[in-house]
Chains A and B, each alone.
Chain A
Amino acid sequence: MTAVAQIFRKPWIWAFVAAFGVWLVTIMFTGGASTMGLSRAALTFAAFSIIVGLGQMFVITLGPGNIDLSIPATMTLAGTVALKVMNTDNGLIIVGIAAALAVGLVIGFVNYGLIKLLRIPPIIATLSSSFLFQSTAIWYNRGLRVKPPEILADFATGSTLGLPNVAIIAFLVSVGAWVLLEKGIFGRWVSAIGQNMRAARLAGVPVDGVRFATYVLCAVLAAMGGFLLSCFSGGAALNMGAEYLLTSIAVVIIGGTAVAGGFANVPGIWGASLFLFLVVSMLNTYGASAGLRLLLTGLIIIAVIIAASRKRVR
């Protein structure tokens, strides 16, 4: 009994409970006909929000005011540059991956440079820089839609042992993030800065270095997400990252990571990403119109947050 009670005290449990509930309701409506299809689709589409959400999680954990709004622009730019570099040539896949990751690195540098050198709040710094990245993507793309190399396209849409390949990648990235957060000194440093930056500095945490690394990590993960998404959807589109602005923040918070920073958890990102996708597909199954779907998604998100919250302690 104590083991069960302990699990229910974890901050990430509610995201999974909600995801499972929605999954069950959808399955019941279709009479179990689409169980496998729905689960596969959920794993596939959640994979992208998981990858970008993990980066956002580290940034948000740095403390109040830390947030990366340039994720959509980063995804678009990385996808665009990588696909154009590869130019559908299977032999250039390594070069393409390197290009995408390089875009992420540069964007991380620029973002933290603005935050540190100009002392701009991160929300404004990443917002203004995202305008620049978006323009760069528009200029670089020139309205062309380059297809991904065949091997990559097959890989991104295919699956291994019944599991979608993108979900497997998301899992590997999550394990990496979990080790970084829970087992290494880096995660301790990030949490320490989020709990009290002054105290962390006095305790000898290399605050600037850690914050810099976190913003770079977030941008690199976003670039990776953009790269995979553009391979999955058969080409980079200029607005393909747009929905991940809200999604990346929402999955972090619904997953039980503290908005005020200092406390993060990786499993919650999975629960929340699955939940968000399942809500939309449930409403689709029930035949809701676009407007109704948005309305109900919003209400359900708020309901979950209120249910998972605690009363103000006086």
Chain B
Amino acid sequence: MSWLSADRLRLVVPALSLALLLGAVFWMQPRTMSYTGLNLLFNLAVPIALATIAQMLIMTVNDLDLSMGTFVSFVACVTATFLQSDPLIGVLILIGCVATYAALGVVIYLRNLPSIVVTLGMSFVWGGLAVLLLPSPGGVAPDWIRWLMTSKPPVLPMAIVASVAIAAVAHFIVMRSAFGVVIRGVGGNERSVERAGWSVLKARAATYALAGCFAVMAGICLVGLTTSADANIALRYTLLSIAGVILGGGEFVGGRVSPIGAVIGALTLTLAGSFLSFLRIPPDWQIGAQGAILIIVLAVRLLLNRRERAERSR
């Protein structure tokens, strides 16, 4: 059973929960079992998956980003305004955003600050900037991103193709590259990474910058789907992205994360929404049912983990 390594086993439960949920949706609405149906089901998963990867990178170095939702909203506002009318200024703002993320990584490390609090403060900053930029919903999506998000590749719909691509790129960066080993090392044992001659400061700055890049992409893709933006467009993403990482088998500490799992987690959360609307659950209980699904998936994970441990000890 050497093929079933700990890393792969980590992926089994998230993949099973997604398959189960997808099966239930197909069973209730057979018409979703088509190119268009799948695209509709998973359309909104693309930005959520990108935000989840961003959150996962931050969690790799044992931090947590509570400003993810407001940041993605701000990027969406920039995309629908400056990036559309003055692409140069828009690109400069977005580069500034990524630089800010890198700076946050540096400040949090140098001053030994709790990431939760700093990002909490940043959530006010991004929220304020977004409201200043777009006091009321509006703006227009740039044509190229609209084209990209609505394009129809052969065989598989865009949402699936994009999700697989995101998972592959993130997997390569975090699990296969030298950089990925260093940042997971920072999460696992910062001192040993430092003693081995790596700069923890640089690694953390790069992790934050990369997370900023993924979050920027999330905002751009979101506007590509919604065609316009508003300052509160992605507030749910903070909690969705954390839940996605955990559902996908990631952990809060120790640099134990799974990029493929994170994307699967994001898809599961998106699907849970559609699943509930197919169930015709009264609107009062929609949010509650989402919480219940989260709890059930985690309970199933616990059961499977127990069984696996029992088998190993036999």
Task: Pick the interface stretch among B23-31, B160-168, B181-189, B239-247.
Answer: B239-247
* The one of A120, A291, A301 that contacts B131, using a Cβ cutoff of 8 Å: A291
Contact with A along B77-107 (1 / 0, CB 8 A): 0000000000000000000000000000001
CA distance A150 to B267 in the complex (A): 50
CA distance A310 to B113 in the complex (A): 8
Residue A293 interfacial (CB < 8 Å): yes
Residue B116 interfacial (CB < 8 Å): yes
Residue B227 interfacial (CB < 8 Å): no
Residue A297 interfacial (CB < 8 Å): yes
* The one of B121, B243, B286 that contacts A127, using a Cβ cutoff of 8 Å: B243
Chain B residue total in the interface (Cβ 8 A): 47
Is the Cβ of A128 less than 8 Å from the Cβ of B294?
yes
Contact with A along B280-314 (1 / 0, CB 8 A): 00001111111110110011001000000000000
Is the Cβ of A302 less than 8 Å from the Cβ of B286?
no
Is the Cβ of A311 less than 8 Å from the Cβ of B110?
yes
Q: Which of B116, B288, B292, B298 has the most chain A CB atoms inside 10 A of its CB?
A: B288
Measured between beta carbons, the chain A residues less than 8 angstroms from B290 are: 131
Chain A: which residue is nearest B110 at the CB level? Answer: A312
Is the Cβ of B131 less than 8 Å from the Cβ of A135?
no
Please count the residue pairs between chain A and chain B whose beta carbons lie under 8 angstroms apart in the complex. Answer: 145
Residue A153 interfacial (CB < 8 Å): no
| Majority-rule SS of A interface residues | helix
Q: Which B residues form the contact surface with A (CB < 8 A)?
A: 66, 107, 109-114, 116-118, 120-133, 135, 231, 239, 242-243, 246, 252-253, 284-292, 294-295, 298-299, 302
Q: Which A residues form the contact surface with B (CB < 8 A)?
A: 64-65, 67, 69, 114, 118-121, 123-125, 127-132, 134-136, 138-139, 246, 249-250, 253-254, 259-260, 289-299, 301-302, 305-306, 309-313
Chain A to chain B contacts (Cβ below 8 Å), 27 pairs: A65-B252, A69-B239, A118-B298, A118-B299, A123-B252, A124-B242, A124-B246, A124-B294, A131-B288, A135-B284, A139-B284, A139-B285, A246-B66, A250-B117, A250-B121, A253-B114, A254-B117, A259-B117, A290-B135, A292-B128, A295-B125, A295-B128, A295-B132, A298-B122, A302-B122, A309-B113, A310-B112
